[in-house]
Each structure stands twice: as structure tokens, then as C-alpha cells.
Amino acid sequence: MSGATVVDAVGPGAAEVAVVSGLRTPVTGRSRALSSVPAHHLAGRVLAAVAKSAGRAPQAVVLGNCTGEGGNLGRVAALDAGFGESCVGWGVDAQCGSGLVAVMQGADQVTRSGAAVAAGGAESPSTAPIRLVDGAPIRQARFAPEGFADPDMTTAADDLAAVRGITRVRQEAFALRSHRLAREHSDLRRRESLPWPGAEGSPLLDDGPRRLSPGMLARFRPMVGSPGATVTPATAARIADGAAAVMLVPADQAPGRHLVIQGQTLVGGDPALPGLAAAPAVRAALAQAGAVVADLAALEVVEAYASQALATLDDLGLTDGAQEVDPRVNAAGGALALGHPWGASGTMVLVRLLHRLLESPPGALGVAACAVAGGMGAAVLVERR
């Protein structure tokens, strides 16, 4: 990654931007409880909730999404949320980094205009249209042009596991950790989730976390048919529906406890091994604040695949190279347990970080990060105030 290009979204002397509220919808598997809810309504509900929590409506909405029907999701969701005709909006497609890049753009807008901005992401694979090329459906969009590697994401995760020597045993242990922590910290999951009515008036909850055992995971077959493949359905995040959003305001207008963005980066690297780009993004965001990994109180990384998350954590020195993971990392589980609503997942880890750090002392630092298809990585560094 020595040739990575770093895009810094926070310049020296820029006005501080505060994250004052953040929520997400429940996360449910494709074709399950949220299957009839389109992306703009998933987003509209959560946008209205973060505005109510912040005590103010935004003047702009920025939303990430990568499989929707097109159009301007940010504007449609702003109207759906009831923000009125004067609230502008736009969309971001940076694949599974979309939600975090939307927050970066939202922070830039706050810095330039002084306005309140709501930013986040939404994904509804259940209602997304089928995409065709030459009349045939495609599994994924193009992430790189001819002349560059453009692997299927599961193939890329398998390749990364092979290159880094990340065994199936390690991947399965990490998946077990994600499910166990998600079940143990259902209180945190409830705090960060927007109440959503379910069947017969009961609240809709995340439907992913399971009580698993090593023996159960060992029975899964690899998803890729090549010899030596190690990624299975248990170590790949399931496709899911969901949305998340945060409210961003100038820090001098932030009431009560909040987070302040101290660094935010988008970096580019090898499209053949996209899972490697999150670690340099984290380091670049830390460098903007003169901080290092040891200074962090919390880190939340999107668990698209266990191999990808472990490669990131290995590079950051947050594992023992085997099955032990630093307790500061994804302390209430992650996408391997909940699911991966692609365009929303980057915001979801930031929402999780917000609710974790609000229980920490002032000055605590945290990072939200994700690897991005096509060989990019995104990270946002925040400080508890």
C-alpha cells in the first residue's frame, strides 16, 4: 500500500464539525422483515429520528447507496423525512464505503456553509432492481476498468486470506466472536436502533445474531469452488436491508455530549486485494490528529468478510496473529452478526462508535473504518467532547 493515494477531507485550521446524534434501523436479511420498504423510506425514517434527537432539522442531506433504482436518494429521502422543499440533498456511490464517504462530504458541507447536515446511507437489496448487461443480469457492478483486476468480492476475500495466510479457523473464530458480542450487548444495539414496528405491534429487532459453535461453522462449504478456498457463508456478511444516519453541525453549536471529527480519509490501493485499504485509511486519519492506534479508546470496522477485517486488524497490530482480537475492536459485534446493507454499513459503524464513545470520558478517541470494493479504504476519526 506504499503507493496509496490519500484524500484528506479535513484541512488544517478547518472549523470543527460535531456529530450530535446518530441512529440506524434494525438490520434484517434480504427478503425478510424490511423487504417491502424501499431505500428512500428506510432513510427517511432514520433521518427524521436523528433530526428529532438533535433538536433541529438539517439544511442538506447526503446519502450513500449503491444498488438502488437511481435518481437522487438524498433529496427523495429528505422530502420523505419531512424536512421541506428547501432542504437540498444528493447521493454518493462509493460501494460499501458509501455511507462513510457521505459523512465526509457532509462534514465538508458543514465546514463550508455552517449549516446542519444529515448524512448516512441506505440499502434495500430486497427492492433493488435487477441490473442487466447485454440483456443478462449481473452479480456486481464494475469496480475497475479493463487492464485492472476486478474480482468478485468473495473471490477477493479468499485471495486475501491466501496471501495473508489467514486460515479458515481464524476466520470462523472471528465470526463466532462477532455473534457472541452482538448477543451479549443487545442493550447497545437497542440504544443505537430506531424503534421500528414489527408484526402484530411488536418491535422489529436485528434478525442476524445467532448462538453458534465451532462445530456448526465447520460444516459450511466454501463459497468459491477453487482448491484451498476458505471463505464460507459463516465468514461472509449476509446481504441485508437497513439504513443509518448522523446529524452534523458546527462544533460551537453542539449541545451536551457529542463527538468532534478530528480526521477523515479516503485512500486508494490495489483493486485486486481491496480488503487491504482500510488499515492505511485508519493510519492517515490518525495522522491528521497526531494520534496513533494506541491512543484509540474504540475502533469499529465493517466486517464484510472475516478475512478482510482480520487483515485490517493484523496490519494495525490489533490481533495476536491468531484468534485473539483487541477488545477495543467491534466490542458489540459487527456485520458478520448483523448483516451488510452495503451503502449503509459505513454509517452504521460510525453510529455504533458514537454510542460507545458517549459512555467514555471526554477526550476519548475512536475510529470508524471500512474497506471498499475497487481497492479503497475510508476512515473517520472522532473525539468525545
Spatial separation of the C-alpha atoms in residues 55 and 69, rounded to whole Å: 32
Spatial separation of the C-alpha atoms in residues 283 and 298, rounded to whole Å: 14
- CA angle 26/53/76 to nearest 5° reads 65
Backbone φ and ψ for 383, nearest 5 degrees, come out as -125, 135
Burial class (CB within 10 angstroms; exposed 0-12, middle 13-18, buried 19+) of 211: exposed
What letter would DSSP give residue 199? Answer: G
Q: Which helix (H) or strand (E) segment is 305 a member of? A: none
Query: Would you call 258 a catalytic residue per the annotation?
Result: no
Residue type at 39? A
Nearest partner of 270 among 155, 101, 148, 142, judged by Cα: 148
Nearest partner of 341 among 243, 196, 245, 232, judged by Cα: 243
Query: Of the residues 87, 96, 258, 370, which is catalytic?
Result: 96
Query: Would you call 66 a catalytic residue per the annotation?
Result: no
Query: Of the residues 40, 179, 258, 340, which is catalytic?
Result: 340
Nearest partner of 89 among 113, 61, 66, judged by Cα: 61
As annotated, the active-site residues are 96, 340
